[in-house]
């Protein structure tokens, strides 16, 4: 920058024609705004000195604004300033750059103003502008608007297809992600790294291992370059689809590993309950001189929590502070969880109080700890704090209601339910998905709308008979309604994970593993039933709930009944 500033000074101090000054300053602007060695504050200063800046100068300053470490609405303001002048007129590059800037900070309103200008100016037929619009709406998670623009494109290029794929993946519309990916292949467009990362991320989200494996095979057959981001996506996908061995294999073969790759592997091991492996991986990371980040320590601390490694967790907390990583509420939550799981509930409470401005996540983690230890009085106290912070969050009421049901405090449980009804609060229904033949099927508790519902009921009846023959006694405390035991047992058999497992038994044969993904934590009774199913049907069942993985084999679970 020193040499550049000298050149800049010479341009300003020499008597040159205005056109020459504008041209030379535009070159200085380009370097300072777009180069990795540049400085956007300096670029802003250079721009202000250009007499009558042209479209190149405006495009440069708008584009450079989206490259800064802390993106802002400044590129949009330069665009508005450009519109107020008779010269220059924005071109398709201007539109694309300002939309990218808006998407980087999720500035939906500003981006829609740009869209309105596009409609007035007649740029709607430009594939470059259309692709930028799809990408903008997709990143703002306005997926309906993204799809509307996408459908209007007559000649879709790879950028627009990739934007639509990653957009669907971002909002969790898994089947739509796969559908667009197949459609893109059907019209003969070869996917690039961006679209592949998008569809692999969707596989990770849905636990769609078969599709993920197909994509991996496709990459290898096409001999596509697997860069760092694609490799990391594959590691993440295999880990979140329950195939941790393959995730480790890919990770170990990666020629280059950055902090994101190391963190993905550590988090993957942690959610599989492989606490010591996760800590060993962290040691390898430090030995490789890779710099841990906040995600790394979420993985490390959660591994310690699930492994009951209290002293290790405290040591890694100190290590995180030594590295200058400012703890987030997720880190504080991991420590509260660690202490609660280690039986140090009072220490967990004091730790929560020491947290700067403890939020609902901290108190909710503590509430779960009290529920786990059946500490009713303390739980009620923490629940009141949560109700003040989040008066409309169903989860807080459900946790307390669960505790009352567990200790048979039915009157108090009814009071909580009544309060929810008065406030119009509805519990998030249990939802479980399973991938069969490249399509993700979703099941909701008590919902029999699936086209093969009658066959699923038949399988469930068979499952019920076989598990009862083993001496199984339903854990009716898992049902949060004050009804008789028969109704409770019937309710248990309509839990979403049982519907998904039954569908897996219907559509697949041994030795294929049944893999399901649930949006909530698996209940105690379903956990016990799944262990029995794995034994009597001789099937490996892998369950990913909102907390971790459970691998059921021959009547046992990898979590050792501690989750």
Whether this model's pTM surpasses 0.85: no
Identify any residues that bridge with 553 across adjacent strands, giving them in sequence order: 556
Residue 282 to residue 29: CA distance in whole angstroms: 43
Residue with tokens 């995180």: 320
Those residues with Cβ within 8 angstroms of residue 140's Cβ, 6 or more apart along the chain or in another chain: 103, 106, 108, 111
**Residue 188 placed within a domain:** no
Spatial CA neighbour of 100 closest among 110, 90, 91: 110
Q: Which residues pair with 442 in a beta bridge?
A: 433
Domain membership of residue 342 (yes or no) is no
**Does the bond joining 511 to the residue before it have cis omega, within 30 degrees of 0?**
yes
CB 162 within 8 A of CB 181: no
CA distance 68 to 60: 13
Contact of 126 with 92, CB cutoff 8 Å: yes
What would you measure as the largest C-alpha separation in the chain, in angstroms?
98
Distance (Å, whole) CA 515 – CA 244:
13
Closest Cα to residue 435, out of 176, 174, 186, 165? 174
**CA separation for the pair 100, 94 (Å, rounded):** 10
pLDDT of residue 11: 74
Residues 527, 533: Cα–Cα separation, whole Å: 10
- State both tokens at 474: 């339903």
* Exposed/middle/buried for residue 33 (C-beta within 10 Å: 0-12, 13-18, 19+): buried
Cα–Cα distances (Å) from 504 to 44, 289, 435, 491, 516, in that order, read: 60, 44, 9, 20, 9
Q: Which residue has the tokens 């029995």?
A: 532
Torsion sign across C-alpha atoms 136, 142, 145, 151: positive
Residue 538: exposed, middle, or buried by beta-carbon count in 10 A (0-12, 13-18, 19+)?
A: exposed
| Cis status, amide bond into 88, omega within 30 of 0 | yes
- How many other C-beta atoms can be found within 10 angstroms of the C-beta atom of residue 483? 11
Can you give the pLDDT of all 563 residues of the chain as single tens digits? Answer: 556 666 776 677 776 666 777 788 888 888 888 877 778 888 888 888 888 899 999 999 999 888 887 788 899 999 999 988 878 888 999 999 999 999 989 999 999 999 998 888 877 778 889 999 999 999 999 999 999 999 999 889 999 999 999 999 888 888 899 899 999 989 999 898 889 999 999 899 888 898 899 999 999 988 888 899 999 999 999 999 999 999 999 999 999 999 999 999 999 999 998 999 999 999 999 999 999 999 999 999 999 998 889 999 999 999 999 999 999 999 999 999 999 988 899 999 999 998 888 889 899 999 999 998 889 999 999 999 999 999 999 999 989 988 998 888 989 998 998 999 999 998 888 899 999 988 889 999 888 999 999 999 999 999 999 999 998 887 655 454 444 445 555 667 889 999 999 999 999 998 999 999 999 888 888 999 999 999 999 999 999 998 889 999 999 998 878 77
**Strand 541-544 vs strand 514-518: parallel, antiparallel, or unpaired?**
parallel
Cβ–Cβ < 8 Å for 211, 203 = yes
- The conformation of residue 308, written as its DSSP 8-state character, comes to T
In contact, 174 and 208? CB cutoff 8 Å: yes
Q: Is residue 466 part of a domain?
A: yes
SS3 323: coil
**Considering only CA atoms, which of 361, 356, 358, 354 is closest in space to residue 337?**
361
pLDDT of residue 484: 44
By the 8 A CB rule, do 374 and 406 touch? yes
What pLDDT, on the 0 to 100 scale, is given for residue 1?
58
- Is 481 domain-assigned? yes
Cβ count near 561 (within 10 Å): 11
Secondary structure string (H, E, C) spanning 399-455: HHHHHHHHCCCHHHHHHHHHHHHHHCCCCCCCEEEEEECCEEEEEECCCCCCCCHHH
What is the residue whose two structure tokens read 């071109």?
Answer: 91
Q: Is residue 363 part of a domain?
A: no
Which residues share a beta bridge with 435? 440
Q: Residue 54: inside a domain, yes or no?
A: no
Q: Which of 190, 193, 165 shows the shortest CA–CA distance to 177? A: 165
CA 300 to chain centre: 18
In a domain, residue 129? The reply is no
- For the chain, give percent helix, strand, coil, nearest 5: 65, 5, 30
**What are the residue ranges of helices labelled H in 35-186?**
40-49, 55-65, 74-83, 92-104, 108-121, 127-139, 143-152, 158-170, 174-186
In a domain, 248, yes or no: no
Q: Phi and psi at residue 474, in whole multiples of 5°?
A: -60, 140
Label the pairing between strands 556-557 and 431-436: unpaired
Note the pLDDT of residue 435: 92
pLDDT of residue 138: 94
Distance of alpha carbon 329 from alpha carbon 389, whole angstroms: 15
Query: Which tokens belong to 44?
Result: 């802003």
Q: In terms of Cα–Cα distance, which of 354, 376, 358 is closest to 367?
A: 376
What gap in Å lies between CA 12 and CA 24, rounded to an integer? Answer: 10
Question: Quick check: 64 and 38 in contact, CB under 8 A?
Answer: yes
Beta 514-518 vs 439-444: how paired, if at all? unpaired
Question: Containing domain of residue 472, as a range?
Answer: 431-557
Between CA 122 and CA 99 the distance in angstroms is: 16
Enclosing H/E stretch for 260: helix 259-271
Looking at the structure of the chain, the number of domains it has is 1
Distances (CA, A) of 239 to 42, 51, 61, 172, 268: 44, 56, 41, 18, 5
């Amino acid at each position: 920058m020193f040499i550049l500033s000298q050149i800049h000074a010479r341009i300003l101090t020499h008597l040159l024609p205005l056109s020459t000054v504008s041209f030379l300053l535009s070159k200085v602007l380009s370097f300072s705004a777009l180069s990795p060695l540049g400085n956007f504050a300096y670029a802003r200063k250079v721009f202000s000195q250009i007499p009558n800046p042209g479209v190149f100068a405006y495009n440069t300053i708008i584009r450079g604004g989206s490259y800064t470490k802390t993106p802002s609405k400044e590129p949009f303001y330069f665009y508005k300033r450009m519109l107020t002048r008779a010269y220059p007129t924005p071109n398709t590059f201007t539109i694309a750059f300002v939309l990218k800037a808006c998407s980087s900070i999720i500035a939906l309103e500003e981006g829609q103003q740009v869209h309105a200008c596009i409609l007035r100016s007649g740029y709607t037929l430009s594939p470059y502008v259309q692709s930028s619009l799809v990408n903008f709406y997709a990143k703002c998670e306005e997926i309906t608007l993204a799809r509307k623009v996408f459908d209007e494109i007559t000649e879709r290029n790879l950028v627009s297809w990739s934007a639509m794929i990653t957009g669907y993946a971002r909002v969790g519309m898994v089947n739509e992600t796969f559908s667009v990916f197949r459609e893109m292949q059907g019209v003969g467009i070869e996917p690039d790294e961006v679209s592949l990362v998008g569809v692999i991320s969707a596989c990770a989200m849905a636990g769609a291992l078969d599709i993920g494996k197909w994509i991996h095979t496709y990459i290898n057959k096409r001999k596509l370059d697997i860069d760092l981001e694609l490799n990391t996506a594959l590691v993440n996908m295999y880990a979140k689809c329950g195939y941790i061995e393959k995730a480790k294999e890919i990770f170990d073969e990666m020629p280059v590993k950055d902090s994101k790759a190391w963190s993905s592997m550590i988090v993957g091991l942690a959610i599989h309950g492989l606490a010591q492996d996760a800590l060993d991986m962290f040691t390898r990371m430090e030995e490789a001189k890779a710099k841990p980040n906040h995600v790394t320590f979420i993985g490390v601390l959660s591994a310690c929590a699930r492994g009951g490694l209290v002293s290790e967790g405290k040591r890694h907390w100190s290590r995180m502070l030594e590295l200058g990583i400012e703890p987030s509420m997720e880190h504080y939550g991991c420590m509260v969880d660690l202490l609660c799981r280690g039986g140090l509930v009072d220490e967990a409470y004091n730790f929560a109080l020491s947290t700067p401005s403890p939020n609902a996540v901290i108190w909710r983690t503590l509430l779960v700890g009290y529920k786990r230890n059946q500490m009713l009085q303390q739980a009620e106290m923490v629940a009141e704090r949560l109700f003040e912070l989040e008066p409309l969050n169903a989860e807080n009421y459900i946790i307390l209601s669960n505790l009352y049901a567990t200790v048979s405090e039915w009157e108090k449980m009814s009071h909580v339910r009544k309060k929810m009804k008065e406030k119009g609060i509805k519990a998030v229904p249990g939802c479980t998905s399973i991938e069969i033949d490249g399509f993700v099927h979703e099941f909701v508790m008590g919902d029999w709308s699936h086209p093969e519902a009658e066959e699923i009921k038949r399988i469930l009846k068979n499952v019920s008979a076989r598990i009862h023959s083993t001496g199984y006694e339903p854990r009716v405390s898992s049902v949060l309604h004050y009804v008789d035991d028969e109704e409770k047992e019937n309710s248990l058999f309509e839990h979403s994970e049982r519907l998904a497992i039954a569908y897996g038994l219907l559509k697949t044969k041994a030795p294929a593993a049944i893999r399901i993904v649930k949006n909530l934590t698996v209940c105690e009774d379903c956990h016990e039933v799944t262990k029995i199913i794995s034994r009597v049907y001789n099937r490996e069942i892998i369950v990913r709930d909102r907390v971790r993985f459970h691998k059921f084999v021959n009547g046992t679970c990898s979590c050792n009944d501690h989750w």
